Chains A and B, each alone.
Chain A
Amino acid sequence: MSKSFVELNNVKLRYSEDDELALETTNMKIKKGEFIAVVGPSGCGKSSLLKLVSGLMPPSEGSVIVDDQEVTGPLKIVGMAFQNPTLLPWRTTLDNVLLPMEIVKPHRHRLRKHRAEYEERARKLLATVGLEGHEDKYPWELSGGMQQRASLCRSLIHEPDLLMLDEPFGALDAFTREELWDILQNLWMIKPFTVILVTHDLREAAYLADTIYVMSKRPGKILVERENTLPRPRDQETTFTQPFTDLVHELRNQIRDVRET
């Protein structure tokens, strides 16, 4: 279990050759099934980190290793969700969730024949995030929070080994956001997958992650790696306990130091 699933070795990133560094020498080791969060001021290259790990962007220097293989092109096993739910408006919620199945092997070749089985699976997943009865609605008939739930389902339907979340709850109201934290934690606890969550919400990081990385502003660099040993499952009560507020406080101070330097 101590073997790392994702490894960044001395990774640097420039957007173009004569550009300044977007990401300064970065080293990271993420275990299989670990939930990590990356926090930092905006524009610090948090999202670039996701693109590097998922292979959508090659590093300028250094190497990214996922599952013992060096990443050279887009990985094929990644689930992704963004602040913008990016659902397809011409598809029902159910069909949106099934989209990865039309692309990921071996499902894409099985989908047509075993459609009922896949639909069942999607319905089950939608039910776990509280979207039962909304499967046949179109995205524009759903509220922002419901769209984000569907987007989360889409990123998980093919049971990815690696889930990338780029501020997925950033545009939601506080109540919906905290409800979705619980949903995500639940799904993750039932069947752990490796998660990289990018966020600027420190409470979100403290609530969800096993390990929290604090990044500096541009050029981005990981300044602090903080274990979060708060017991799981964490719930609303946890957020009012002393250890939780201490952790958030500590992170807050680190971010302030980053911003002032």
Chain B
Amino acid sequence: MKKKTNLSKATPWISAIALFVLWELIVRIFNIPPYVLPTPSESIIVGWQFHEAIWMHAYHTLYTTLAGFAIAVVFGVVLGALVGSSRAIYDAANPLLVGFNSVPKVALVPVLVMWFGIGTVPAIITAFLISFFPIVVNVATGLATLEPELRDVLRSLGAKRLDILIKVGFPRAMPYFFASLKVAITLAFVGSVISETVASNVGVGYLMLSASSKFNMPLVFAGLLVIAVMGIAMYEIFNVIERRSTKWANRGNQNT
């Protein structure tokens, strides 16, 4: 048993290293020039050379991402609760939400820049705009799929709408909510980096843009790697929170 869990813990590391090795080999064997595709080793070395700048920009990106994400969580839960607990609000809001979600958020960045100037504010807003949708949908789904029998049981005890929402609706929606956080946090990174790339002078997005304008492809790839690592780290954090807080929903494999 123990051997098996050790192996399954190592699997993601093995696959990541395998990918880097493959990448390194392909670049070397086919002699691809570094301004097209740098090797991972080169990217990491260059990344280390610029580590102070990368650290500063990465910190900034993380900050804008989390700020946008936090707004998305609050907004998403409130809107999801409204949409999920009222048929009328669902009917009114659904087409608007779907329409809004279909608009590429990169197209909104220029608008945000006109309103708020370049820099941090449009990045936070873009991160928020791109990441709230899955939270709304999941919270609403969790609330709307309440068993009708359970609702009858509670109503025939004299439960108000709010009672049902607090006692049953929200706890039931928790697994849906946490699942959506994992998706939302990775989307929030997409949002903030897009905005930094288009209109900012700080952040990993900006760093990559300025590096590519100087044909410093290894640095561009170092930026990409940093974003990927931050995304994985955040995803894992929410993964752990999800597992801890909604144990009952994962009852099938509680021993692993």
Measured in the bound complex, the distance between the Cα atoms of B156 and A103 in whole Å is 10
Q: Is B51 an interface residue (CB 8 A)?
A: no
Residues of chain A contacted by B52 (CB below 8 angstroms)? none
Residue from the list A74, A86, A138, A140 in contact with B156, Cβ < 8 A: A74
Measured in the bound complex, the distance between the Cα atoms of B249 and A90 in whole Å is 8
Measured in the bound complex, the distance between the Cα atoms of B150 and A55 in whole Å is 15
CB-nearest residue of chain A relative to B247? Answer: A90
Instruction: Classify the interface of chain B: helix, strand, loop or mixed.
Output: helix
Measured in the bound complex, the distance between the Cα atoms of B65 and A86 in whole Å is 40
Measured in the bound complex, the distance between the Cα atoms of B156 and A78 in whole Å is 6
The proximity string for A residues 40-74 relative to B, scoring 1 for CB distances below 8 Å and 0 otherwise, is 00000000000100111000000000000000001
A103:B149 contact, CB within 8 angstroms: no
Measured in the bound complex, the distance between the Cα atoms of B158 and A154 in whole Å is 15
B158:A105 contact, CB within 8 angstroms: yes
From 184 to 225 in chain A, residues with beta carbon under 8 angstroms from any chain B beta carbon are none
B157:A158 contact, CB within 8 angstroms: yes
A90:B152 contact, CB within 8 angstroms: no
Q: Is B171 an interface residue (CB 8 A)?
A: yes
Q: Is B13 an interface residue (CB 8 A)?
A: no
Q: Is B236 an interface residue (CB 8 A)?
A: no
B251:A140 contact, CB within 8 angstroms: yes
A86:B149 contact, CB within 8 angstroms: yes
The proximity string for B residues 194-211 relative to A, scoring 1 for CB distances below 8 Å and 0 otherwise, is 000000000000000000
Distance of A187 from chain B, by nearest CB (Å)? 18
Chain B interface category by residue count: 20 to 34
CB-nearest residue of chain A relative to B164? Answer: A103
The proximity string for B residues 127-163 relative to A, scoring 1 for CB distances below 8 Å and 0 otherwise, is 0000000000000000000010110111111110001
A99:B167 contact, CB within 8 angstroms: yes
Q: Is B78 an interface residue (CB 8 A)?
A: no
A164:B156 contact, CB within 8 angstroms: yes
Distance of B87 from chain A, by nearest CB (Å)? 15
Q: Is A100 an interface residue (CB 8 A)?
A: yes
CB-nearest residue of chain B relative to A82? Answer: B149
A90:B163 contact, CB within 8 angstroms: no
Q: Is B183 an interface residue (CB 8 A)?
A: no
Distance of A6 from chain B, by nearest CB (Å)? 14
Q: Is A84 an interface residue (CB 8 A)?
A: yes
Q: Is A171 an interface residue (CB 8 A)?
A: no
Measured in the bound complex, the distance between the Cα atoms of B153 and A15 in whole Å is 20
A86:B150 contact, CB within 8 angstroms: yes
Residues of chain A contacted by B163 (CB below 8 angstroms)? 102-103
Residues of chain B contacted by A100 (CB below 8 angstroms)? 157
B158:A104 contact, CB within 8 angstroms: yes
Measured in the bound complex, the distance between the Cα atoms of B162 and A102 in whole Å is 13
CB-nearest residue of chain B relative to A105? Answer: B158
**13 additional contacts, CB 8 Å, given A80-B156, A86-B153, A138-B248?**
A74-B156, A74-B158, A76-B156, A76-B157, A76-B158, A84-B149, A86-B147, A89-B248, A89-B249, A103-B159, A104-B157, A104-B158, A154-B153
- A sample of 7 inter-chain contacts (CB < 8 A) reads A77-B158, A78-B157, A88-B171, A90-B172, A99-B167, A103-B157, A140-B251
On A, residues with C-beta under 8 Å from B are 51, 54-56, 74-80, 82, 84, 86, 88-90, 99-100, 102-105, 138, 140, 154-155, 158, 164, 166
